[in-house]
Structure 1
Amino acid sequence: MSFQGQGRPLSGAGIEQVCSTLGVAQPQVWAVLSVETRGFGFLKDRRPQILFERHIFHNQTGGRFDSSAPDVSNSKAGGYIGGEVEYDRLNAAIGLDQAAALKSASWGIGQVMGFNFADAGFANVADMVAAFVEDENAQLLAMANFIKANGLAGAMQKGKWDAFARGYNGPSFEKNQYDTRLTAAHARYQVMLPDLSLRTAQAALLYLGFDPGTIDGVTGKRTRSAIIAFQEKAGLSETGELDTDTESTLLGEAFKSD
């Protein structure tokens, strides 16, 4: 399984649909996204961000692979590598039991666990993963469906981040200070929201091998440097600004088959 598609970033329509579904404003949504995945659902090779949970695979398979594959099947959580290498762990588990492996990873921009496919709005985990491969809109809506199915929309609406974190991350949420981080992120996004056009451009730069830094919809030094590098390669004026010609050329190059 390649898990590789277009890697389309969030659209305005996508995030507004989620806000309507949950009865919240954008700052609440962005707060959750930034804390869960640093705000972007794809890796630079366009595969969804994942984290493989070996203890979940252990539970899903009754521990029958614990002796032969302790790195991916273990009663204790751990073994995390992070980034693209998490797919090595996932693929090793797929070789043992595909459905259980897909259920044992958290996926995409909201890091929804595969075993929660039904709450996320899918008939099976394979359908969920296939949707997540295509674009962030699908990832975000699945996250919203999960939040709503688990009665957490009210906590988001009221800004009760301790209650939200307990329901979304589990009873040990305080260990990673999820509630504190969510509170801080919410306050930050109430002041300024990400620029979705710039965020899409940052994703395109990332996919094309230019490092824009964090995919956050905010122009910083690394984003400007990445734009200049792209402009130089494309034969455009090296302004560091996302002007019309630069944006059109960049998106056309990054999303050729759309």
Structure 2
Amino acid sequence: MNFHSQGRPLSDGGMDQICNALGIFEPEVWAILTVETRGFGFFQDRRPQILFERHIFHRLTNGRHDTGNSDISNEKAGGYIGGPGEYQRLEKAMELEPSAALQSASWGIGQVMGFNFKSVGFATVNDMVAAMVKDENAQLLAVANFIKENNLAGALQRNNWVSFARGYNGPDFKKNEYDTRLAAAHAKYKIILPDLALRSAQAALVYLGIDPGPIDGVRGRRTSSALMQFQKQVGLPETGQLDRDTESKLLEKAFPA
């Protein structure tokens, strides 16, 4: 299976779609996304962010592969490599049982588990993964469908982070202070929202091998320096600003037609 795509970032339309579907506002959305994946759904190599859960693979396969494969099949959670290295674990599991392996990973910007494929609107787990590979808009739609399916929209609307965390992250949410982190992120985003155009530019810079710092839609020194580096490469005035010419050239190079 090809897990690579252009890795297109979230658009205004994608954000509007989830807000309208759930009856919420952008700060609620960004709170979820920031806590789940630090706010971006793809790795630098343009594959979706994943985390492979060996205890889920163990459960889905009734422990058939535990012997000699404790890194990918174990009754206890763990064995994480982190980052793109999680694909090594996923692909090893896929050699044993492809469907169970795909269902045992959490996918994209909202880290929706593969075994939820039916409840988030897909006929097969392969269909779900194909959507996760496509772009962040598709990833976010899966998040919205998961929230609706589990009757969590009301908790979001009321900013009841304990109820939402319990439903979205499971009964052990307190271990990672999931509700507290959601509340803190929400408070931050009520003051200032990410700039989606700048966020897309930051993603493009990362894909082109230029480090802008976090892909967060917030201007900082590292983003300005990265823009200046790109501007120098393509012969534009080195302002460090995301002007129209810089944005056009950046998106053209990172996301060729």
Q: TM-score range by the shorter chain?
A: over 0.9
Shift of 1:118: 1.1
Aligned-partner SS, 1:51: strand
Aligned-partner SS, 1:95: helix
RMSD: 0.7
**2:105 is aligned with 1:91:** no
The aligned counterpart of 1:251 is 251
Separation (CA, whole Å) in 2 of partners of 1:91 and 1:232: 39
* Percent of residue pairs bearing the same amino acid type: 67
List aligned pairs for 1:230-241, cutoff 5 A.
230-241=230-241
Separation (CA, whole Å) in 1 of partners of 2:91 and 2:2: 10
The aligned counterpart of 1:16 is 16
Segment drifting more, 32-41 vs 221-230 = 221-230
Shift of 1:37: 0.5
Aligned residue identity for 2:179? D
Task: Provide the TM-score with structure 2 as the length reference.
Answer: 0.99
The aligned counterpart of 2:182 is 182
Separation (CA, whole Å) in 1 of partners of 2:229 and 2:61: 48
**2:217 is aligned with 1:220:** no
The aligned counterpart of 1:137 is 137
**2:125 is aligned with 1:125:** yes
The aligned counterpart of 1:49 is 49
Separation (CA, whole Å) in 2 of partners of 1:119 and 1:188: 31
Separation (CA, whole Å) in 1 of partners of 2:163 and 2:184: 15
Gaps of 5+ in 1: none
Aligned residue identity for 2:164? F
Separation (CA, whole Å) in 2 of partners of 1:212 and 1:144: 29
The aligned counterpart of 1:28 is 28
List aligned pairs for 1:140-159, cutoff 5 A.
140-159=140-159
* Count of residue pairs brought into register by the alignment: 257
Shift of 1:238: 0.9
Separation (CA, whole Å) in 1 of partners of 2:213 and 2:95: 34
Aligned residue identity for 1:210? I
Shift of 1:235: 1.2
Task: Provide the TM-score with structure 1 as the length reference.
Answer: 0.98
Q: Deviations over 1:2-47 (max 9, x none)?
A: 3000111001011111001111011101100000000000000110
Aligned residue identity for 2:212? P
Shift of 1:68: 2.8
The aligned counterpart of 2:106 is 106
Aligned residue identity for 2:59? N
Q: Deviations over 1:54-105 (max 9, x none)?
A: 0000011110000031110001000011101000011111111110000000
**2:170 is aligned with 1:170:** yes
Separation (CA, whole Å) in 2 of partners of 1:48 and 1:143: 14
Aligned-partner SS, 2:96: coil
Q: Deviations over 1:79-134 (max 9, x none)?
A: 01110100001111111111000000000000000000111111111000001111
Segment drifting more, 108-117 vs 216-225 = 216-225
**2:86 is aligned with 1:82:** no
Gaps of 5+ in 2: none
Aligned residue identity for 2:13? A
Separation (CA, whole Å) in 2 of partners of 1:234 and 1:60: 50
The aligned counterpart of 1:67 is 67
Aligned residue identity for 1:237? P
Separation (CA, whole Å) in 1 of partners of 2:88 and 2:224: 33
Separation (CA, whole Å) in 2 of partners of 1:186 and 1:119: 26
Separation (CA, whole Å) in 2 of partners of 1:106 and 1:70: 19
